[in-house]
Amino acid sequence: MDQDTLKALVGQAALAYVQPHSILGVGTGSTVNKFIEALAKAAIPLKGAVSSSEATTKLLQQAGIEVLDSSAVASLDWYIDGADEIDHQGFMVKGGGAALTREKIVADLADKFLCIADASKLVEVLGQFPLPVEVVPMSSAHIIRRFATLGGQATVRLAKDGQPLVTDNGMHIVDVRGLQITDPKAMEDLVSVWPGVVTVGIFAHHKASVCLLGSPEGVKTLTF
């Protein structure tokens, strides 16, 4: 079974967490895209969704789901999103698709985070996937130097045109290689207060409540 099929499998399985007539928080990425496809086919009636990116907003609207302004929603039951890495405690690295800031904002509105991922995303220690950090452009060089003091090699993410990638929020992303994130909460706290950091892609304070992990043997449910 290829990765795409596993993503479709967990996207489909996530439908079991969608309460009819609820408002759903929806993440970003190729796994979530499979979930939105399944949601559109299942035609579960929803009050609407709060979206974590322009890309997801477009897909939700194409599926006939109303996208609500996050400011108009005080709380959500579930936020459903993928991850770049998840560990055995439910701590995650996210932001491979540059949507981490809005993802954390919508996750913060939700009581529970449902992570949907293929089994390749499960790791012992976070940090094999380069850690994405959204930064104010003028701070990037200094933030890169700060990561070097922690043993990380950070680089500014580039778009296809070779220029720094610009996020939905008009910011840049630095990707940090070489970190062993053994204490995700401490690392999230440390980096979050550096001036210029908008959001660090460690989701420790907003960890998964449940993870649906797709493997050739089927979908495994991990509860944290």
Cβ neighbors of 164 (< 8 A, separation 6 or more) are: 137, 140, 156, 157, 158, 172
Residue 154 interacting with ligand R5P (CB under 6 A): no
Shortest-Cβ-distance residue relative to ligand R5P: 29
Annotated binding site for substrate: 28-31, 81-84, 94-97, 121
Give catalytic residue positions: 103
Residue 50 CB coordination number (10 Å): 25
In 3D, which of 201, 167, 200 has the Cα closest to residue 54?
167
Q: Which residue is listed with tokens 């979050």?
A: 192
Question: What is d(CA 137, CA 135) in angstroms, rounded to the nearest whole number?
Answer: 6
| Angle (CA) 171 73 49, round 5° | 75
Residues from 90 through 119 that contact ligand R5P (CB under 6 A) = 94-100, 103
Residue 56 interacting with ligand R5P (CB under 6 A): no
Site string for ligand R5P, 12-41 (x = CB under 6 A): ---------------xxxxx----------
C-beta of residue 99 within 8 angstroms of C-beta of residue 51: no
Residue 11 interacting with ligand R5P (CB under 6 A): no
- Among residues 152 and 214, whose Cβ is nearest to ligand R5P? 214
Number of residues that bind ligand R5P (CB under 6 A): 17
- Among residues 81 and 87, whose Cβ is nearest to ligand R5P? 81
Chain residues in the site for ligand R5P (CB under 6 A): 27-31, 81-84, 94-100, 103
